Chains A and B, each alone.
Chain A
Amino acid sequence: MTVTWYVVLSAVLFAIGAGGVLIRRSPLVILLCLELMLNAGNLALVAFSRAHGNAEGQVFALIVMVVAACEVVVGLGLIVAIFRRRLPLNVDDLRELRG
């Protein structure tokens, strides 16, 4: 049982997530893709943790989940706020912070 396949799966998931973040315009989908990237990272952490027989990686994965939950709360909150103010739900239109 090698760790290779888990890492490959993790890399594929991460690439899908990153591609989604880069390509999609809806903030909701970008948030989902971000979650995908985080979970790809979690998968790699857990796989390496099992391969090395060390539980610390799994603890890390738990912390990442907590952070991801927080992030979703903030992100979804922002999206709801944007929706309520009847702003376009399109990240390309929300670019007031340009230099």
Chain B
Amino acid sequence: MSATAWGWLVLAFPLAGFLINAFGWRVLRGRMAGWIGTIAIGLAFVCAIAATVALLGHSEGDRELTSSLWNYASAAGLDIKVGILVDPLSAFMILVVSGVSTLIHLYSVAYLDSDRGYARYFAYLNFFVFSMLLLVLAGNFVLLIVGWAFVGFASYALISFWYRRNTATKAGMKAFVINVIGDVGLVLATFFIFRELGTFDFLAVFHAVPQHFSTNQGVLVAICLLLLVGAFAKSAQLPLHTWLPDAMEGPTPVSALIHAATMVTAGVYLIARMYVLFEQAPTAADISAFIGLATLVFAATCALAVTDLKRIIAYSTISQIGYMVVGVSIGAYAAGMFQLMTHAFFKALLFMAAGSVISAVAGTQDIDRMGGLRKALPFTSKLMIIGALALAAFPGFSGFFSKDEILAYALHRGGFYVIFTIVGYIAALLTAFYAFRIIFRVFWGEPVPEARELEEGHLAHAPPENPLTGEKEDTDVGFPGAEHHIAEREWPMWLAMSVLGFLSITGGFIEIPGIDEVVKNFLAGAFLQSHLYDALPSVAADWGGLALGGAISIAGIGLAYLVYVRRPGTSAALIRRFGAVHTFLANKWYFDELYDAVIYRPLIATGLFAKNVFERVVVQGVVTAAVDLVRGVGVIVRGAQSGFVRAYALLLIGGFAALGLYFLIASQ
């Protein structure tokens, strides 16, 4: 079978799983829906492998395969096909997406076990995977937008999955609104592309761009900036990042899948996919890189101060995507995509471990109320440490190879790109520090009551409440289920985390500078037109970067050890000393408050003005005046309707007489 046929199957299985779960929820008992969803995605992963193998059968210059099912729209000058593009980039993405998704489905089978919305959850999750695969396989802009909007909806539906929780529904709306801003950017960019080039097809656009546009031509820069609006909204980059921390209201596996491993990297994929445009408009690419850099520093600082376990990891995600955006914007495509892959592994692992930890402390997410869970959660703690080591880019772990490759590339490009290397390494220190801030705060220190209880063998069950506001909840549909599940006791969770742990350790070995450069060689077929792809730093420079990165990582971990384990009072002392800075960071640089003041409040004020002044005074004033006029005239005229027949007769005769007199006089 050809690679594109496998590509269609990759799309078909999640769609089938979605339909079965969506329509069969009444009949599916127990964990049935979960297994159907997991198997559907697992089959998609198998097909993705088959597609990749089939793709490798082609020669390297001939790995851009397209296929279309039918014509979506065919009119004068418009030719849109429902077509996919299977090339090394999309093959790489479907492998990562379907692979990680399979594991997260497996984890969810147990984690969501007692939730009353079990089948609905898996229907949403399968729909998400289908949409994400559609997004990365799309062969033209129209299908890309369809997938782009679908994942936005799936994200909304899953953030608001516990729909009776106020905070969750609000977070869902926020995510949706910001994602729609991105959608508008993407759609406008597509309009411009169509106006300039007259086609929606990816390959046709990429072939036409170098001839049609001069370097940095205004229209092209505008197109690229609009694409960036879409990419940044989806990938939670400044200034459109505020939805991602709130998206943690969704179930933890959702945070792992959508808001860490796959959907939020769609922006990175988009920039890499549009590399032809960005290389022709280097200004836009540089803007993108600088925003990525600002984001990665900003998010890393937030992660130092936030105390909600999932939100720390969320800020870490924003920061890591910042690295990827920098990578694909400066031309380090392979390194950026490699970072995307390793990040998917270790961040999904971190979230899964966080889910297990949250279950162990009866749904609490505040790390101030955790501690000493190392003995109670032997497996989870080990796996979370592996994830944190990979995140901190500890030598040998997967994050170690991917992050430093981006920074080494920036250094190699020279000029002002050196800034990316310097700031990137500083942020790497912060990354290592906050990664182990989580570990030391959660697993070291004095065991909390829940930890002691768990050591004795039973899982704490507090009355259900909203972890954010402390509101009381029940366990019916629309709220989390009654039971908590930890990886130590559920083999699907255990298995999913073990596989991801293994990948977090070994995932980096496929791309060791100078030894085996699997990702770089594989992706080369998708970047044939690029003049930056092969401008790589020397192997020695790479290893120099790796050595520096390793040293920084160890320094960051050591610093965290010093602050949180050796001298436990240090962080409190630091907070006292730099109270203003801490407040600033703990409030996430006041971005939410800024948007509240600049956008939300003026809009509400305008609405209130329209309602209270315009509607009440102007609109109702005009309407009331018209009504009063008619009624007043009616009152006057009604006086004539006396009911006396003789009075009517008098009016009639008098009227005729008056008319007759008038004509008599007028005729003289």
A29 CA to B653 CA in the complex, in Å?
Answer: 18
Q: Mark B111-147, 1 if CB is under 8 A from A, else 0.
A: 0000000000000000000000000000000000000
Interface core residue of A18, A22, A94, A99 (most chain B CB under 10 Å): A99
B649 on the A face (CB < 8 A): yes
B603 contacts the other chain (Cβ, under 8 Å)?
no
Contact B641 A92 (CB under 8 A): no
What is the minimal beta-carbon distance from A82 to any residue of chain B, in angstroms? 13
Task: Say yes or no: is A98 at the interface (Cβ < 8 Å to chain B).
Answer: yes
Picked from B637, B641, B646, B653, the residue with its CB within 8 Å of the CB of A98 is B641
- Residue of A with least CB distance to B634: A99
Task: Output the nearest chain B residue to A97 by Cβ-Cβ distance.
Answer: B643
Task: Tell whether B645 is near chain A: CB-to-CB under 8 Å.
Answer: yes
Q: In the assembly, what is the distance between CA of A99 and CA of B641, in Å?
A: 5
**Contacts of B638 on A, CB cut-off 8 Å?**
99
Task: Determine if A86 is an interface residue (Cβ-Cβ < 8 Å).
Answer: no
A91 CB to closest chain B CB (Å) equals 5
Contact of B646 among A91, A96, A97 (CB under 8 A): A91
Contact of B649 among A21, A95, A97, A99 (CB under 8 A): A21
Knowing A18-B653, A22-B653, the reply to whether A95 touches B644 (Cβ < 8 A) is: yes
Q: What 0/1 pattern do residues 14 to 52 of A give for CB contact below 8 A with B?
A: 000010011101000010000000000000000000000
**Bound Cα distance from A95 to B643, whole angstroms:** 4
- CB proximity of B548 to chain A, nearest CB, Å: 98
Task: Tell me what chain A mostly uses at the interface: helix, strand, loop, or mixed.
Answer: loop
B642 interface residue (CB < 8 Å to A): yes
A62-99 interface (Cβ within 8 A of B) = 91-92, 94-99
- Which B633-655 residues have C-beta < 8 A from chain A? 637-646, 649-650, 653
Which residues on B sit within 8 Å (CB–CB) of A92?
644, 646
Contact call B650/A94, Cβ cutoff below 8 A: no
Instruction: Determine if A22 and B639 form an interchain contact, defined as CB atoms under 8 angstroms apart.
Output: no
Cβ proximity bits B647-667 to A, threshold 8 Å, 1 near / 0 not: 001100100000000000000
Q: Are A95 and B653 in contact (CB under 8 A)?
A: no
Q: Which residue of B lies closest to A98 (CB)?
A: B643
Task: Please indicate the chain B residues that have their CB under 8 angstroms from the CB of A98 in the complex.
Answer: 641-644
Contacts of A22 in B (CB 8 A): 646, 649-650, 653
**Given the complex of chains A and B, what is the CA–CA distance between A96 and B641 in angstroms?**
10
In the complex formed, the residue of B with least CB distance to A14 is B653
Whole-angstrom distance between the Cβ of B239 and the nearest chain A Cβ: 68
Alpha-carbon gap, A99 to B638, bound state (A): 5
Residues from chain A with Cβ under 8 Å of B646 in the complex = 21-23, 25, 91-92
User: A97 touching B653 by the CB < 8 A rule?
Assistant: no
CB of A96, distance to nearest CB on chain B (Å):
7
Q: Give Cα A57–Cα B85 distance, bound, in whole angstroms.
A: 96
Please measure, in the bound complex, the distance between the C-alpha atom of A97 and the C-alpha atom of B653, giving whole angstroms: 20
Q: Roughly how many angstroms separate A99 CA and B646 CA in the complex, as a whole number? A: 15
Distance in angstroms between the alpha carbons of A10 and B645 in the assembled complex: 25
B595 to chain A, nearest CB (A): 61
A18-B653, A22-B650 known; A91-B645 Cβ under 8 A? yes
Nearest Cβ on chain A to B652's Cβ, whole angstroms: 10
> Does A95 lie within 8 Å of B650, measured CB to CB?
no
Give the distance in Å from the alpha carbon of A96 to the alpha carbon of B650 in the complex. 19
Who on chain B is nearest to A23 by CB? B646
Query: In whole angstroms, how far apart are the Cα atoms of A99 and B634 in the complex?
Result: 10
Residues of B contacting A91 in the complex (Cβ-Cβ under 8 angstroms):
644-646
Contact of B645 among A18, A23, A94, A99 (CB under 8 A): A94
Instruction: Please measure, in the bound complex, the distance between the C-alpha atom of A18 and the C-alpha atom of B644, giving whole angstroms.
Output: 16
Q: Smallest CB–CB gap between B656 and chain A, Å?
A: 10
Q: In the complex, what residues of B have CB within 8 A of residue A99's CB?
A: 637-643
Q: Give chain B nearest CB distance to A44 CB in angstroms.
A: 13
Measured CB to CB, the nearest residue on chain B to A33 is B649
| B644 CB contacts on chain A under 8 angstroms | 91-92, 95, 98
Cα-based distance from A30 to B649 in the complex (angstroms)? 11
Please, which residue of chain B has its CB at the minimum distance from the CB of A92?
B644
Contact B650 A97 (CB under 8 A): no
Please pick, from A18, A21, A95, the residue contacting B642 in the complex, using a CB distance under 8 A. A95
Cα A11 to Cα B645 with chains together (Å): 23
Q: What's the minimum C-beta distance from B664 to chain A, rounded to whole angstroms?
A: 13
Cβ–Cβ < 8 Å partners of B642 in chain A: 95, 98-99
Contact call A96/B649, Cβ cutoff below 8 A: no
CB closest chain-A residue, reference B639: A99
Shortest distance between the CB of B644 and any CB in chain A (Å): 6
Q: Which residues of A contact B650 (CB under 8 A)?
A: 22
> What's the Cα separation between A23 and B638 when bound, in Å?
24
Interfacial chain B residues near A18, Cβ < 8 Å: 649, 653
Q: Could you write out 18 A-B pairs with CB less than 8 Å apart?
A: A18-B649, A21-B653, A22-B649, A22-B650, A23-B646, A25-B646, A91-B646, A94-B645, A95-B642, A95-B643, A97-B643, A98-B641, A98-B643, A99-B637, A99-B638, A99-B639, A99-B640, A99-B643
Other contacts beyond A21-B653, A22-B649, A92-B644: 12, CB < 8 A? A21-B646, A22-B646, A25-B646, A92-B646, A95-B643, A95-B645, A97-B641, A98-B643, A98-B644, A99-B640, A99-B642, A99-B643
